[in-house]
């Protein structure tokens, strides 16, 4: 796994980003220590057991990030058996040498909602915060980004990224086993910063938005996607206990409040692009993610409410520029 991170030295990047990357060897090694993750040794064994096959450039097929090498049925079966051992697969979908990884989230639907509203990614340096297994990172690279760095502290997601990378020719995509708090506040170098599905997990949402602001160069673009609830400007819903069975949801703003937060953190040209209810077309159980999913999180008698009686999930996308 560590070899993927070594390739960062070969990619062109702004000086401030390069300086930070050169300090990451020890934090990455610590994150990859089996002392921190009891399942990591078996996950590494799975990665080491993946068959050596011809690598390919990623393509997009019906929303799936696809890698299509020429493999026989035996290799395909071995590959699928190993990839299934990395359950649960949350973000995707993927198509790996004919194997459809049908993930819990149809992350392609989120990409479809935002891709026509953002600045073209060609030649841009991109940060994807809370990127999971890197599905959207691959979409960003496919759309022409010169470098995509994803950060996510959830080690299984990082391992899944490396499993997918095994089948890819070298792409300017890397997922670091780090959280947003590990990213320096003063980089001021990314052309585009994505934060999708993270804001409501932060105790101080405005501090998170300010952190994203400080990662961007002047005129850089923020793409912020998060939960919202209906309400007037200024309204914030603070759930007591769990929200849709999630323990760490601190606050959910109304769309107007979300726009105000972004403006107050120093952004201009703030646009609310979409507000979309979450449906089981986008989030559901599959045989690649067999745990509870959206249907289990909603009131079985009223799907406009969560199981706790809160407003059902809606997701908003805001796009803005650093002033």
Which residue segments constitute the domains of the chain, with CATH numbers given?
Answer: 2-322 (3.40.50.150)
Token pair for 124: 């841009």
pLDDT on residue 37? 85
pLDDT on residue 3? 64
Lowest mean pLDDT among 96-100, 166-170, 266-270, 309-313: 166-170
Closest CA to 320 of 229, 219, 252, 234: 219
Whether the Cβ atoms of residue 279 and residue 265 lie closer than 8 Å to each other: no
Look at residue 2 and tell me whether its pLDDT is greater than 70: no
pLDDT per position as a tens digit, 42-67: 999 999 999 999 899 999 999 999 99
Classify residue 305 as exposed, middle or buried by CB count within 10 Å of its CB (0-12, 13-18, 19+): middle
Q: To 5 degrees, how large is the angle CA 130–CA 276–CA 219?
A: 55
pLDDT on residue 277? 98
Rounded distance between C-alpha atoms, residue 25 and residue 97, angstroms: 32
Q: How far, CA to CA in Å, does 234 sit from each of 245, 261, 310?
A: 25, 9, 19
Look at residue 183 and tell me whether its pLDDT is greater than 70: yes
Whether the Cβ atoms of residue 226 and residue 200 lie closer than 8 Å to each other: yes
**Which residues, including other chains, have CB under 8 Å from residue 143's CB and lie 6 or more apart?**
115, 120, 121, 122
pLDDT per position as a tens digit, 146-177: 999 999 999 999 999 999 999 999 889 999 99
Look at residue 192 and tell me whether its pLDDT is greater than 70: yes
pLDDT on residue 32? 84
Look at residue 1 and tell me whether its pLDDT is greater than 80: no
What is the rounded average pLDDT for all residues in the chain? 95
What phi and psi, each to the nearest 5 degrees, are found at residue 188? 50, 45
Look at residue 206 and tell me whether its pLDDT is greater than 90: yes
pLDDT per position as a tens digit, 111-134: 999 999 999 999 999 999 999 999
Q: How far, CA to CA in Å, does 64 sit from each of 94, 96, 109, 183?
A: 5, 9, 11, 29
Mean pLDDT of the region 178-198: 95
Rounded distance between C-alpha atoms, residue 120 and residue 118, angstroms: 6
Q: Percentage of the chain with pLDDT > 90?
A: 88
Look at residue 10 and tell me whether its pLDDT is greater than 80: no
Judged by DSSP in three states, 299 sits in: strand
Mean pLDDT of the region 82-111: 98
Radius of gyration of the chain (CA): 19
**Which residues, including other chains, have CB under 8 Å from residue 168's CB and lie 6 or more apart?**
55, 56, 57, 58, 67
Look at residue 311 and tell me whether its pLDDT is greater than 90: yes
Judged by DSSP in three states, 207 sits in: helix
Look at residue 6 and tell me whether its pLDDT is greater than 80: no
């Amino acid at each position: 796994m560590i070899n993927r991170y070594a390739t960062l030295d070969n990619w062109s990047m702004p000086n401030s980003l390069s300086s930070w990357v050169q300090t990451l060897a020890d934090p990455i090694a610590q994150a990859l220590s089996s002392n921190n993750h009891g399942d990591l040794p078996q996950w590494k064994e799975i990665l080491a057991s993946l068959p050596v096959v011809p690598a390919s450039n990623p393509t997009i097929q019906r929303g799936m990030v696809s890698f299509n090498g020429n493999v026989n049925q035996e290799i395909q079966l071995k590959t699928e058996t190993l990839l299934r051992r990395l359950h649960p697969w949350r973000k995707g979908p993927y198509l790996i040498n004919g194997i459809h990884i049908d993930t819990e989230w149809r992350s392609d639907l989120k990409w479809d909602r935002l891709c026509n509203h953002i600045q073209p990614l060609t030649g841009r340096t991109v940060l994807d915060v809370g990127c999971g297994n890197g599905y959207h990172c691959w979409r960003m690279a496919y759309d022409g980004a010169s470098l995509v760095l994803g950060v996510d502290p959830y080690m299984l997601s990082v391992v899944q990224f490396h499993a997918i990378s095994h089948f890819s020719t070298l792409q300017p995509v890397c997922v670091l086993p780090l959280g947003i708090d590990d990213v320096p506040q003063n980089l001021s170098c990314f052309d585009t910063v994505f934060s999708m599905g993270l804001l409501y997990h932060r105790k101080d949402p405005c501090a998170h938005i300010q952190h994203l602001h400080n990662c961007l160069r002047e005129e850089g673009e923020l793409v912020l996607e998060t939960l919202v609830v209906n309400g007037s400007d200024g309204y914030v819903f603070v759930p007591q206990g769990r929200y849709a069975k999630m323990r760490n949801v601190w606050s959910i703003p109304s769309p107007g409040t979300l726009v105000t937060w972004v403006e107050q953190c120093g952004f201009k040209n703030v646009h609310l692009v979409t507000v979309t209810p979450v449906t089981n077309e986008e989030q559901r159980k599959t045989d690649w993610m067999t745990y509870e999913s959206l249907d289990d999180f909603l009131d079985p008698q009223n799907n406009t409410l969560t199981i706790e009686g809160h407003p059902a999930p809606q997701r908003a996308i805001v796009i803005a520029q650093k002033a």
